[in-house]
Amino acid sequence: MRSVGIVCGYDLNDELPGYVTSVAPLIARENLDFVILSGGRTSPRSPHSEAWVMARQLRGILQTPQVVLEEHAMTTLENLIFARGLAEHHAGAVARFVVFCDRVHERKVAALARLILGGRTIVRPVDHAVAVADRLFEPVSHLIETGIAMMPRLRKYLRAVAIFTKGVSGKPPDAALPPLLSDDRPLHRRRTSSRTLHHVRNPDPLLVRDMQLRVDR
């Protein structure tokens, strides 16, 4: 069973490189098999996803662990759902998740992590500049996303609202694959399938991005 890190991205209009620089030392301290950088294209002014921008910055700071890009998420809830799907696709049952986020979103991330990732999750917050409007809206966002996390049929509406408010199409970069479907029970809670799962050291080449090729293109 593996240890996997998840870095939640924030709007491309914010100072993402500075956020990643703050997160990098925390990643280095954890014994992680790989890290998932999660965040879709959340700004009409950028052709890239949050995950892509974070990978470009992280590559110049850390060479390990291996990095996987998740380029569909539009909300914190989707960060965790989609990242967990990728983690379990590559590593099978995950022994421990470590989620990295900013301090303003820490309570929401911790609540969602318990629901989506299970009890064996650690949240590592960092200080990050957040707009006053976002700080004021965060308690409302916490209630909405936590409630919708428990009502899966409503998640598509949350995604639609997020896409509309961000002014984007919701279509991921061309190289991104559709999000992997997963139910709401972490793999370690399900009946083990006889199907052999991919080991992260032999990943699907379409999902794990080589940072040299992916970031520099």
pLDDT single digits (tens) 107-138: 999 999 999 998 889 999 999 888 888 889 99
Summarised one tens digit per residue, pLDDT across range 139-191 is 999 999 999 999 999 999 999 999 999 888 766 554 444 444 444 544 444 43
Terminal C-alpha separation, the chain? 34
DSSP state of 41: -
Between 197 and 163, the more confident residue is: 163
DSSP state of 70: E
pLDDT at 202 > cutoff 90: no
Written out in words, the top-level CATH class of the domain with range 2-170 is alpha beta
Predicted local confidence at residue 1, as pLDDT? 72
The packing angle between helices 76-91 and 155-166, to 10°, is 120
- The closest alpha carbon to 1, from 179, 181, 186, 182, belongs to 186
Q: How far apart are CA 64 and CA 95, in angstroms?
A: 19
Rounded to two decimals, the pTM is 0.81
> How buried is 98 (Cβ within 10 angstroms: 0-12 exposed, 13-18 middle, 19+ buried)?
buried
State whether the Cα torsion 96-99-100-104 is positive or negative: negative
pLDDT at 22 > cutoff 80: yes
pLDDT at 212 > cutoff 50: no
DSSP state of 198: P
Domain residues of the chain, as ranges? 2-170
